[in-house]
C-alpha cells in the first residue's frame, strides 16, 4: 500500500513538472524570462517556510521522549554550501530553459530537458563511475532522437533547442550536486536555500534588464503561481516524500514521464502539433530515457548456476 502511494505521488510530481512547461511558455507572454524565474523561485521559497515548520513540528511530536541533539556545525556548513551550489546551478539551468522555451515548442522543450536522465550517468564518468554498455546505446538513441526532433534542413539546432539542451546539461550537474549533498542535509531546507538564492540571482538582473511592472506581474499571476507553488514548492516536496524507502531507479523512470506530460499539455492546452518526424524523434528520446533507467542485471553466483 505504501509503495502504491509513493508511486502515485511520483506520477503527480511528473505531471506537475510536465504541465509547468506550459506555464513557463504562457508566462512569457507577459513578463521576461528573468522576471518569471525570479518570481517563481521567491514564491517557491516562501511556500516552503510553512512546510519546514510543519515538518519540524511532526519531528518534534515523534521525538517527545528525550531531546535530540541539534544539527552540528558541519551539517549547517554542508547545508549552506549545498544550497548555494544548487541555487547557482538551478539559476543557470532555469534561465537557459526559460529563454529556450521562447524559441521552441513546449513538447520539444520537455523532451530535450528530459535528456538529463541520459546525461547524468555520462557526466558520472568524470566522477570515476564507469557507465554500462546500455548507457552508450541510450546516448546514441537520444542523439538520433534529437536529430529527428530538432534538426532542420540546414542540419543545425534552432536557437531554442540549443538553449534547452544546455539547460539539460546544467540540470544534470544539479542532480549530481543534490546526490552529493542530500544524504548530509535536510532536503527541504536545502531546497528553500536554493530557491532563495536563485530568486535573488534572477531578480537583480531582471530589475535592471527587464524592468518588470506590477501590471505585467498581475497579468501573469496564474502561470507564475503555478510554477512557484506547484512546480517548485509542492512538486519538489512530493518528490522528497515519495522517494523515501523507494527504489531510486523506478522513481527516476516515473519522474521522466514529465516529458510525456509536457507534450500532452502542449497539445491539449496550446494546440501545439508535432509532425510524424518529430513524433518519431520523441519516441527515440523516450526509449533512451527508459533504457538508461533499467536496473543492471546481477550475475548469479556460481553456486546458484551449478545447483540450478
Query: Residue 1 contacts by C-beta under 8 Å, 6 or more apart in sequence?
Result: none
**pLDDT of 71-90, one tens digit each?**
666 688 889 998 999 999 99
- Per domain, the residue ranges of the chain are 2-58+76-294
279 or 211, higher pLDDT? 211
Q: Please, what is the end-to-end C-alpha distance for the chain in angstroms?
A: 34
C-alpha dist (Å) from residue 33 to 105, 143, 229: 15, 28, 18
Query: Residue 289 contacts by C-beta under 8 Å, 6 or more apart in sequence?
Result: 114, 115, 117, 118, 138, 142, 253, 256, 259
Whether 38 shows a pLDDT value over 90: the answer reads yes
pLDDT of residue 121: 76
pLDDT of residue 307: 38
- CA-closest candidate to residue 107, choices 284, 303, 261, 305: 261
Whether 142 shows a pLDDT value over 80: the answer reads no
In degrees and rounded to multiples of 5, residue 83 shows phi and psi of -65, -40
- Please check whether residue 95 is in contact with residue 170, taking contact to mean a CB–CB distance below 8 angstroms: no
Tell me the whole-structure pTM to 2 decimals.
0.77
**pLDDT of 208-243, one tens digit each?**
999 989 999 999 999 999 999 998 888 877 776 776
pLDDT of residue 248: 61
pLDDT of residue 156: 65
**Res. 308 pLDDT band, cuts 50 70 90:** very low
Query: Residue 281 contacts by C-beta under 8 Å, 6 or more apart in sequence?
Result: 111, 144, 145, 146, 147, 148, 149, 150
- Mean model confidence pLDDT for the chain: 80
**pLDDT of 146-177, one tens digit each?**
777 666 555 567 888 889 889 989 988 887 88
Rounded CA separation 24/99 (Å): 10
Amino acid at each position: 500500500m505504501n509503495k502504491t502511494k509513493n508511486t502515485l505521488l511520483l506520477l503527480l510530481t511528473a505531471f506537475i513538472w510536465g504541465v509547468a512547461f506550459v506555464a513557463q511558455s504562457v508566462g512569457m507572454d507577459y513578463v521576461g524570462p528573468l522576471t518569471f524565474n525570479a518570481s517563481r523561485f521567491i514564491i517557491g521559497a516562501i511556500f516552503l517556510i510553512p512546510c519546514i515548520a510543519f515538518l519540524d513540528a511532526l519531528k518534534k511530536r515523534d521525538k517527545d521522549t528525550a531531546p535530540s541533539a541539534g544539527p552540528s556545525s558541519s551539517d549547517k556548513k554542508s547545508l549552506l554550501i549545498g544550497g548555494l551550489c544548487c541555487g547557482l546551478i538551478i539559476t543557470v539551468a532555469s534561465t537557459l530553459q526559460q529563454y529556450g522555451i521562447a524559441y521552441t515548442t513546449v513538447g520539444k522543450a520537455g523532451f530535450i530537458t528530459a535528456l538529463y536522465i541520459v546525461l547524468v550517468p555520462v557526466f558520472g564518468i568524470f566522477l570515476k563511475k564507469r557507465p554500462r554498455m546500455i548507457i552508450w546505446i541510450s546516448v546514441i538513441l537520444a542523439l538520433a532522437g534529437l536529430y529527428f526532433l530538432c534538426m532542420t534542413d540546414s542540419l543545425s539546432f534552432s536557437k531554442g533547442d540549443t538553449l534547452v539542451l544546455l539547460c539539460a546539461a546544467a540540470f544534470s550537474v544539479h542532480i549530481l550536486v543534490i546526490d552529493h549533498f542530500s544524504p548530509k542535509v535536510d532536503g527541504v531546507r536545502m531546497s528553500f536555500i536554493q530557491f532563495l538564492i536563485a530568486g535573488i540571482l534572477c531578480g537583480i538582473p531582471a530589475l535592471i534588464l527587464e524592468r518588470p511592472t506590477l501590471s505585467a506581474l498581475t497579468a501573469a499571476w496564474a502561470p507564475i503561481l503555478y510554477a512557484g507553488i506547484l512546480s517548485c514548492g509542492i512538486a519538489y516536496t512530493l518528490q522528497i516524500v515519495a522517494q523515501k524507502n523507494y527504489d531510486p531507479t523506478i522513481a527516476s523512470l516515473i519522474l521522466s514521464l514529465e516529458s510525456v506530460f509536457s507534450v500532452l499539455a502542449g497539445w491539449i492546452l496550446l494546440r501545439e502539433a508535432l509532425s510524424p518526424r518529430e513524433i518519431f524523434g520523441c519516441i527515440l528520446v523516450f526509449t533512451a530515457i527508459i533504457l538508461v533507467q533499467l536496473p543492471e542485471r546481477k550475475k548469479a553466483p556460481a553456486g546458484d548456476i551449478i545447483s540450478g
